Structures are given as structure tokens and as C-alpha cells.
A and B are shown apart, each in its own frame.
Chain A
């Protein structure tokens, strides 16, 4: 085990961490405002990748336009879901929203599978990164794929922008106020339910963006989101639902830790995240950044 090998693993871990961070950030933003956990987040991540693929096939749009358009489309789909379906369940226990979005996941996955088979005659498809991002970069200790470096960088930028908007701007103040006390916020003349729809759209759009970013690394597959979202749930439990910065830090940190652990002892590659979750639950049940129950 050389230092060089560990450094490579750190970078591989950062790539996985980028996806954990983007997804758990979206989950955290949605949870903050709507108090629901969106199971369909993984399916919408997949929908982002699939949309990029379909835009390329049908309209010959490349990676860059798809990187903007696909997340917007996914965001709009999300807003329709919120307006049409989730809204009906707001008075009820939050479990029902989890169940609804679980059903939507099954539905979306197999609908996309059906479309891919009937329209494009494939069950999964590769997606090539743009020429400007192909090839490798010399990091000094190793050659690293340029595209993966781009993923780490873009994810960091997007995460920090989201954090900045929510914590430091007027828009964020409205969102935080609607989270804290919807009644009083409404009394100030702010249409909270419109903001709820918008925030859901943005949160889900982040998942769509992650999906487009993932397409060139993993291939476009109807089931690509299912296992990722469950692992992301474990990441969310480790970090604790609540803080935006917490979910970003936890996402990247868990990605790196899992990659290093997998390098030291390969058989636990898949399960390490869950072992970390068990340890955190033992020591700090509300998660690293979550507030203990009762103070929420």
C-alpha cells in the first residue's frame, strides 16, 4: 500500500462523494422545506441521465446543452409531481410521501426501460463525454481522467452556490422562513406553497444534474439510481438531516472514506458506508450534523 495508491483512491472517492453530496444536498433542501424524504430522487437522477441521452439521440444535442436542459426538464417533472401528487398528502404522516415516491420510482424506472427498449432498442447505453473533457490530466502522482476531475470541481461549485443562496441571500431567507414558520411567513404576504413547489423543483433538478454528470462515467441505465439513492440515504443518516453544509461535507467525506476503506480491505467496498452508518447511529443517533431529537 503506497501513499500514491491512497491518493488515487482519495480522488476516486471524491468522484463518488460528488454524487453523494449532490443527491443528499437535494434531499436536504427538499426535507427542510417540505418535511418529506423523496425516494424518487434516485429515479429522477436516472431521468436526468436518460434525458441527456434522449436529447442526444433525437435532437443531436451534445453534453454541454444537455447539462443545462436535462436538469431543467427534470426540475419541471418534479414540480408537476409536487403539484399533482405530493400536495394531496401534506396533511398526513410523512411516511405516505415516502411510499408515494417509492411507487413513482418503480413506475419511472420501468417506463424508462420500456422507452429505451422500444424507441432506442437498448437496455442501457454509454454516453460519451465531450472532446474537451476526454483524456487524462497529470496530477503529479498519477494520471487522472479529465472528466472525473471536472465532475469533482463542478459538484463542489454547485454545492457551494446552493449553500450560499440558502444561507446568505434574500431568496434563502424566504426559504428558511418558510421552513421555520410557514404560517408567519404567509402572513408577510409570501405565497409559501409556490416556494415549496419551486424548492422541490430545484432540489430535484440537482438530482437531474447529477444524473447528466454521471452518464459518461456509468452508462445510462434505467436502474442506475436505485442503489445509489439507498446508499445516499445512509449518507444522509450519517450526516443528519438538517444542515445544508453538513450534507455537502458528509457526502464528500463518506465518498473518500469508503474509497480508502475499500482499498485497504476490498471485500467491504460496498458495505462500508452502511458500517459507518451503524457506528454513527451507535455514537450519535441524530447524525453528525443533525440536532438531537426534541431540539428540532
Chain B
């Protein structure tokens, strides 16, 4: 940890640091569709928000969920299904997002009572259960074929057949989602969450109920993951079984670690890097697992601070 310095100046430096990241990242996201093709840019937004949502639970509550694809995917199916049944884009996306939050209630209730590696196994198992359900419930999910060919009707003069318009619509939603995550973390709630993460007994002894805080963090995280999932469907116009696959749960973990956990912006950076990397890999004929698996292993072994974490570490030492 850093040497003890004047608490006030340190927090001011941290605030400046945060503002710099916010401005830099915000500008980059504003011009992103000019740098890479818009649908890929939209991927960065959707996965970026997904990773931020995941890190709310992993970084700040210390709970490694290995089943977050369940929320991303459920929202994706609900959004796709409603769009296919003539609902407007905002209604479909809102319903998708809320369905993810709703699904999180029983899963969070059953899993936050367990800690550490147990929590990871339980969430992984529930994620797999959802994956089996999606495969089986073909009336709703289209099974192996998934959902496709649904309309994205224009809304208030926005032409959603244009990928750039879709991007900026999602950028606004991303802003909302990111702000919610930010407010949750930089609040008394977030501070208590960190206290629970660092020392559960102590937090309990001063009168907080750890499980209630973990439960709330889980539901917020899952709801935001749902928003991200509906953004992804809106961007691509298809939902496939991949959305609920265990690999998707793992992918968001990798993005978060690569970008830097607990750094707030890191997960977005990680999502950007992985999305670009995967775009390259799919156009070559290398199996994706070899690349993603290798990146995963190397990050866990040698680069646990992640990109943003490492940059911040250097800046602090200077």
C-alpha cells in the first residue's frame, strides 16, 4: 500500500486522477465509432458496462460471480423476444433489464450466504442451470437457433437501422449505467460494502448486516449486467445461446482483471481490449479459446493489477 500521506491531499489527488480518467475515457467513447466500425464500438460499450457491473460485485464486495452470463443472457432473451413481438426499443430494453434484476433476487438470496470459492461455484452452477433452461425452452429462446430477424422500430425520430445512431443511443444508456455504478460505489453504501469485503466480522460488530449489503450489491450488479445484455442485443439484432454460456461468465471476469479490478474505469478498458482482440482472432483461423485462455492465464499470473491499475500505480509512485 502507499505510504501514509496527508489524507486530504491524497483524496484531492485521487479526485483529480479520477476526473482525468473520466474526461479521457469519455472523449474516447465519443469518437469511438470513427476509430472502429460502429457495431464493434457498441460491443465495447455493452461489454464495458457488463464488466463494470461485474466488478461492482467482485472488486467492491469481494464476491467472484462465475454466473453473470445468467443476467446478461436473460435480459438479452427478454429484450429480443419483446422486440420480436412488436414492442418498442425502450420498453423491450427496460423489461430485459428488470427481468435480470428480478432473476437476481432468488439467486442472490441463496448464494450470498456462502463466501469465497463456494460463492463462485454456486453462481457458476446457477448460470449453468439457466443455460440448460435456455436450451430447452425453445418457444421463448429459439433453442439452438436463438432469436433473430426481429425489428428495432425507430423511436422519437431516431433511425435505429443506422449503427452509428444505435451506438450513441447506447452511449447514453452506458452513461446512465456507469453513473449508477459510480454512485453505488462512492456512497455510504459503497464504503460499507468495502468494509464488509475487508473484514466481515468487524463490519458486523459495528452493526451492519453483511449479507444484506452483499445481497443489494448483487441485485444492482445483475440489473446493470441486464442493461448491458439488452444493449448487446439491440446492437447486434440477434440473441444466441452464447449469451447464457459459462464462457460468457468467464469472459467478463477476464475483461475486468485485464483492465484492473476496483479501478472503476479499468473494466471498460479491459472490455475494449478484449473486444478488439476477439475481433482480430475471429478473422484469423486460430481457435478463440487458445488466445483467450492464454491471456487469462498470463493476466492472473503476472498482471493482476490490470492495465488501469498498473498505470495508476506508476502515477502514484512518481
User: Do the two chains belong together in a single complex?
Assistant: yes
Question: A-side interface residues toward B, CB under 8 Å?
Answer: 36-37, 85, 88-89, 92-96, 98-100, 102-111, 113-114, 226-227, 230-231, 233-234, 236-237, 241, 267, 270-271, 274-275, 277-278, 281-282, 285-286, 293
A–B complex contacts, Cβ < 8 Å, 5 sampled:
A96-B304, A102-B296, A107-B290, A107-B296, A227-B128
A contact residues around B122 at 8 Å (CB): 237, 277, 281
Are the C-beta atoms of A271 and B297 separated by less than 8 Å?
no
A contact residues around B133 at 8 Å (CB): 271
Q: Which residue of B lies closest to A88 (CB)?
A: B301
A contact residues around B247 at 8 Å (CB): 106
Cα A139 to Cα B213 with chains together (Å): 55
Q: 3 closest pairs, A vs B, by CB?
A: A103-B296, A107-B293, A110-B289
B contact residues around A96 at 8 Å (CB): 300, 304
> In the complex, which residues 243-302 of chain B have their Cβ closer than 8 Å to any Cβ of chain A?
246-247, 250, 253-254, 257, 287-290, 292-297, 299-301
B contact residues around A237 at 8 Å (CB): 118, 121-122, 125
B contact residues around A293 at 8 Å (CB): 115
A contact residues around B304 at 8 Å (CB): 92, 96
Cα A286 to Cα B113 with chains together (Å): 9
Interface centre among A94, A102, A281 (most CB of B within 10 A): A102
> In the complex, which residues 77-131 of chain B have their Cβ closer than 8 Å to any Cβ of chain A?
110-111, 113-118, 120-122, 124-126, 128-129
Q: Which residue of B lies closest to A107 (CB)?
A: B293
Given A270-B132, A285-B114, the answer on whether A106 and B289 have CB atoms closer than 8 Å is yes
Given A96-B300, A102-B250, A107-B297, the answer on whether A37 and B110 have CB atoms closer than 8 Å is no
Interface residues on B, range: 35 or more
**Residue B136 interfacial (CB < 8 Å):** yes
Cα A57 to Cα B115 with chains together (Å): 45
Q: Which residue of B lies closest to A279 (CB)?
A: B110
Cα A113 to Cα B254 with chains together (Å): 22
Cα A293 to Cα B201 with chains together (Å): 13
Q: Which residue of B lies closest to A270 (CB)?
A: B132
Give, as a whole number of angstroms, the nearest-CB distance from A229 to chain B: 9
Are the C-beta atoms of B296 and A106 separated by less than 8 Å?
yes
Q: Which residue of A lies closest to B290 (CB)?
A: A110
**Residue B52 interfacial (CB < 8 Å):** no
B contact residues around A103 at 8 Å (CB): 254, 292-297, 299-300
Cα A36 to Cα B246 with chains together (Å): 20
Question: B-side interface residues toward A, CB under 8 Å?
Answer: 64, 66, 110-111, 113-118, 120-122, 124-126, 128-129, 132-133, 135-136, 246-247, 250, 253-254, 257, 287-290, 292-297, 299-301, 304
Given A37-B120, A230-B128, the answer on whether A100 and B110 have CB atoms closer than 8 Å is no
Cα A104 to Cα B111 with chains together (Å): 26
Cα A241 to Cα B295 with chains together (Å): 30
B contact residues around A104 at 8 Å (CB): 293, 297
Give, as a whole number of angstroms, the nearest-CB distance from B1 to chain A: 16
Known: A98-B120, A271-B129, A277-B122. 18 other contacts (CB 8 A): A85-B301, A94-B117, A98-B66, A100-B300, A103-B293, A103-B295, A103-B300, A106-B289, A106-B292, A111-B290, A231-B125, A233-B124, A270-B136, A271-B133, A274-B126, A281-B122, A282-B110, A293-B115
Contact of A37 among B117, B257, B292, B295 (CB under 8 A): B117
Are the C-beta atoms of A230 and B125 separated by less than 8 Å?
yes
Are the C-beta atoms of B118 and A230 separated by less than 8 Å?
no
Q: Which residue of A lies closest to B113 (CB)?
A: A285
A contact residues around B301 at 8 Å (CB): 85, 88-89, 100
A contact residues around B257 at 8 Å (CB): 99
Given A94-B117, A241-B118, the answer on whether A110 and B132 have CB atoms closer than 8 Å is no
Cα A93 to Cα B253 with chains together (Å): 15
A contact residues around B126 at 8 Å (CB): 274, 278
Give, as a whole number of angstroms, the nearest-CB distance from B269 to chain A: 18
Cα A94 to Cα B117 with chains together (Å): 7
Interface centre among A99, A109, A114, A278 (most CB of B within 10 A): A99
Interface centre among B122, B128, B290, B295 (most CB of A within 10 A): B128
Cα A59 to Cα B110 with chains together (Å): 50
A contact residues around B110 at 8 Å (CB): 278, 281-282
B contact residues around A230 at 8 Å (CB): 124-125, 128, 246
Given A106-B296, A107-B289, A107-B297, the answer on whether A271 and B132 have CB atoms closer than 8 Å is yes
Q: Which residue of B lies closest to A96 (CB)?
A: B300
Are the C-beta atoms of A110 and B288 separated by less than 8 Å?
yes
Give, as a whole number of angstroms, the nearest-CB distance from B11 to chain A: 27
Are the C-beta atoms of B290 and A114 separated by less than 8 Å?
yes
B contact residues around A93 at 8 Å (CB): 116
Interface centre among B113, B125, B250, B301 (most CB of A within 10 A): B125
Given A99-B300, A270-B132, A278-B110, the answer on whether A107 and B294 have CB atoms closer than 8 Å is yes
Give, as a whole number of angstroms, the nearest-CB distance from B299 to chain A: 8
Cα A106 to Cα B116 with chains together (Å): 22
Cα A293 to Cα B115 with chains together (Å): 9
Are the C-beta atoms of B129 and A98 separated by less than 8 Å?
no
B contact residues around A99 at 8 Å (CB): 64, 253, 257, 296, 300
B contact residues around A226 at 8 Å (CB): 246
